Amino acid sequence: MEKMSGHDISLLIYTLIAIILLIFLIAKVKWHPFVVLLLTSVILGMLAGMKLPDVADAIQDGVGNTLGSIAVIIGLGTILGKMLAESGGADQIANTLLNKFGERKVHWAMMIVAFIVGIPVFFEVGLVLLIPLVYTVARKSGMSLLKIGIPMVAGLSTVHGLLPPHPAPMIAVEGLNANVAKTILYALIVAIPSVIIAGPVFGSFIAKRISGLEMPKALSEQFSKKDSKELPSFGITLFTILLPVILMLIGSLSDVLEESKTLSEWSGFLGKPIVALLISVIVSFFTLGYARGFNKQQLSSFMGECLAPTATIILVIGGGGAFKNVLITSGVGDAIANLAVNTHISPILFAWLVAALIRVATGSASVAMTTAVGIVAPVLASVNGVNTELIVLAIGSGSLILSHVNDAGFWMVKEFFNMSVAQTLKSWTVMETLLSIVSLIIVLLLSVIV
């Protein structure tokens, strides 16, 4: 890798200006992140000296390439999450685990519930889905909302940042051409101890220091109304949720089965994230749909209801892809790669740091992951022997850090747990930061072994 040139330094300064503008327009002016990402992509391209038609092409290609697979994954994952909610499958998983764990260890059960339920759904969806269970458990056990709730949000956050086939980590998997099955395996090794420390352990600690929280009355009453319909069985629900993960793990066998061309092709086909999720969604129509008494009109209605809100998420991720592509095509990616190599920083630490800075700046884990992939990719191309799966996890880990007032999740947690801003910073923000740092440490330790 070449030494830093004057042009490289100029590109880095232009990128800094673009990121500051990005933060200002999102945080202060309150413009929509999608519009801001496109605008700052144009400005960065022009500052970097790109020809105007090339700027437009880079933005268009960036959006298209990013959403080519991710948009479908988001759509299918959202449908699967909707089927889980409407069928009562989430309730069934929670009830079963609560019965097994008992009231004394109920916060551990909530962590496991969130970890499982969070696989097919975005954090915000999972939070809305599980908050009624937190209220119910708190009312029955008399335990602190935070002692039960922090493990729940930790479980959702961990899956959101680290575990494919969740759409957020899939952005990094696709962008860095990482192996999905290996990423899942390493993600579990990283995620389990991280969520234990940031969830039940920290939850028990902070619950003693923030006491007297009461459930929001209107929400509590609304969520306490239970549907009397029969719930799907625990086994069927768990199988349906984990089916995409199982299929992707089968996909990893394609290299092992290469002696049999047919088996190798089929396992590779079934392991593709889009195919795995499509099969799982169709299976859910039967296991969580028709088997629960829903008719075809209701299933169609469920899909319409859940897909509409994903438009904003998809557009923002597409905007992040545009910004990422301008970073690459303008030469900024190479300039940052030069900087990283010349400072001799670990690629894993560099990936984490880039994602962390963008997360703090924009408040979005998905934008942080999408943009960080574009910045980190050139570094990987210039360094030999880097484990791309661990880079994916480093980016995911960085994208979780320091959620604060520019993050929608911050305000959702604040309102659902009836906390002040200061209390939310002491609990939720510290939990997210702890999750990010612990997972980074484990990724660094893993890099020594693998």
How many CB atoms lie under 10 A from the CB of residue 211?
9
Q: Is the dihedral of CA 53, 54, 59, 62 positive or negative?
A: positive
pLDDT (0 to 100) of residue 337: 64
Between 94 and 304, the higher pLDDT residue: 304
| Residue 125 near residue 156, CB atoms below 8 Å | no
Residue-level pLDDT at 222:
47
- Separation in Å, CA 280 to CA 106, 248, 283: 29, 11, 5
Tally of CA atoms within 13 A in the half-sphere of 172 that contains its CB: 37
DSSP type of residue 164: T
> What pLDDT score was predicted for residue 261?
75
Amino acid type, 397: S
- 279 vs 328, more confident: 279
| Burial class, 209, CB count within 10 angstroms (exposed 0-12 / middle 13-18 / buried 19+) | exposed
The helix/strand/coil state of 308 is coil
Does the structure show a pLDDT above 50 at 374?
Answer: yes
Q: What is the pLDDT of residue 42?
A: 94
pLDDT tens, position by position, 393-408: 999 999 999 887 667 7
44 or 318, which is more confident: 44
Mean pLDDT for all residues in the chain: 82
Mean pLDDT over 6-15 rounds to 86
Structure tokens at 412: 């959702």
Higher pLDDT, 356 or 438: 438
Distance CA 329, CA 285 (A): 43
Residue 217 banded pLDDT, cuts 50, 70, 90: low
Residue 373 CB burial class (10 angstroms; 0-12, 13-18, ≥19): buried
Label residue 421 by pLDDT band (50, 70, 90): confident
Question: How would you label 283-295 residue by residue, b for 16+ Cβ within 10 Å and e otherwise?
Answer: bbbebbbeebebe
Residue 225's pLDDT is 43
Structure tokens at 101: 């764990």
Task: Check if the beta carbon of residue 38 is closer than 8 Å to that of residue 25.
Answer: no
DSSP 105: G
pLDDT of residue 156: 92
Sign of the CA dihedral with 439 first, then 441, 444, and 445 last: negative
Give per-residue pLDDT as tens, 150-194. Answer: 999 999 999 988 988 777 788 888 888 888 888 999 999 999 999
Question: What is the average per-residue pLDDT within 11-15?
Answer: 88
In angstroms, how far is CA 423 from the centroid of its own chain? 24
Q: What is the pLDDT of residue 442?
A: 96
More confident of the two residues 120 and 247: 247
* pLDDT > 70 in the chain, percent: 89
In one letter, which amino acid is 333?
G
The 8-class DSSP code of residue 390 comes to H
pLDDT, tens only, 43-55: 999 999 999 999 9
pLDDT tier at 118 (50, 70, 90 boundaries)? confident
Quick count: other Cβ atoms within 10 Å of Cβ 192? 12
pLDDT of residue 291: 86
**Sign of the CA dihedral running 308, 312, 315, 321:** negative
Of 140-144, 291-295, 356-360, 420-424, minimum mean pLDDT range: 140-144
Give the residue with greater pLDDT, 249 vs 76.
76
Predicted TM-score (pTM) of the model is 0.69
Q: Is the pLDDT of residue 1 over 50?
A: no
Mean pLDDT of 420-426: 85
CB 83 within 8 A of CB 302: yes
Residue 400: its pLDDT value, please?
Answer: 92
CA separation, residue 300 to residues 36, 295, 296 (Å): 34, 9, 6
Amino acid sitting at position 68: G
What pLDDT is attached to residue 325?
83
Asked, as a colleague might, if the bond just before 165 is cis with ω within 30 of 0, I would say: yes
pLDDT at 349 over 80: yes
Answer whether residue 411 shows pLDDT above 80. no
Res 231 pLDDT > 70: yes
